[in-house]
Amino acid sequence: MILEVKDIYTAYGLSQILFGVSLKVNAGEVVSLLGRNGAGKTTTLRSIMGLTPPRSGSIKFKGEEIAGKPPYQIARIGIGSVPEDRRIFPDLTVWENLDVAIKSSREGGPSWTMERVFELFPALEPLQNRQGGFLSGGEQQMLTIARALMGNPELLLLDEPSEGLAPVVVSHLGQQISKLREEGMTILLCEQNFRFSLDLSDRLYILEKGEVRYEGSMAEFLKDEDSWRPYLTV
């Protein structure tokens, strides 16, 4: 198991958001965290990244407790994150955005290069000299994922990658995430768009009001999809 979140409680000041969330991600799996707007998906990712540390509970990455560690340390041990707001540098070119993110890989860990990233996202290659701020939404999303890969993560956290993108761009992005999965990347994917994660994920969790309401494989879920529809935005 690469990630094990156990019974975390996370709050912003006095507002308690997560109430005992537990989830697991095995190496090589794509796991979706679904739920409506405000269910606590982003807060779960922020808890894992150390941006909003949980008040109680445990978060283990490859067996090591990381709850309470600062975000830079958590990033360094191999968790890459793609936030919802796609924070690329608008004044830097595509190439520069990727170059500043290069980190040497840990021993035995993956090793991403510019070449490999352009193989995965061929659309970015001809845009290497374009400034980030002049990219389309879909191109920016690709660049954010590519940038996270340059840090050679063993686990990638994706926060609503399909948000705000046109359907054709979403389907293209889905293919690229599938390709990453085939290459063995472990991914925790937060989505409101259940259809998007359907073909990509091995297992899923549904969050509602800061609690896990459902946990199961995609195949099991699909047998009983209708009863869970109220928890999802479809």
Q: In angstroms, what is the minimal distance from the CB of 157 to ligand ATP?
A: 12
Contact string (CB under 6 A) for ligand ATP, positions 162-201, x = contact: ------------------------------x---------
Q: Does 15 bind ligand ATP (CB under 6 A)?
A: yes
Q: Does 39 bind ligand ATP (CB under 6 A)?
A: yes
Q: Does 152 bind ligand ATP (CB under 6 A)?
A: no
Q: How far apart are CA 116 and CA 193, in angstroms?
A: 28
Q: Does 212 bind ligand ATP (CB under 6 A)?
A: no
Binds ligand ATP by CB under 6 A, chosen from 32, 42, 140, 162:
42
Q: How far apart are CA 3 and CA 23, in angstroms?
A: 8
Q: Kindly give, in sequence order, each residue whose CB lies less than 8 Å from that of residue 28, ignoring residues fewer than 6 positions away.
A: 184, 185, 186
Q: Does 40 bind ligand ATP (CB under 6 A)?
A: yes
Q: How far apart are CA 226 and CA 214, in angstroms?
A: 13
Q: In angstroms, what is the minimal distance from the CB of 20 to ligand ATP?
A: 15
Question: 105 forms bridges with which residues in the sheet?
Answer: none
Binds ligand ATP by CB under 6 A, chosen from 1, 12, 73, 87:
12
Query: Residues 9, 21, 42, 145: what is their CA dihedral angle, to the nearest 10 degrees?
Result: 130
User: Can you state the percent helix, strand and coil of the chain, rounding each to 5?
Assistant: 35, 30, 35
Q: Does 50 bind ligand ATP (CB under 6 A)?
A: no
- SS3 state at 16: strand
User: In the complex, which residues of this chain contact ligand ATP (CB under 6 A)?
Assistant: 12, 15, 17, 35, 37-43, 192
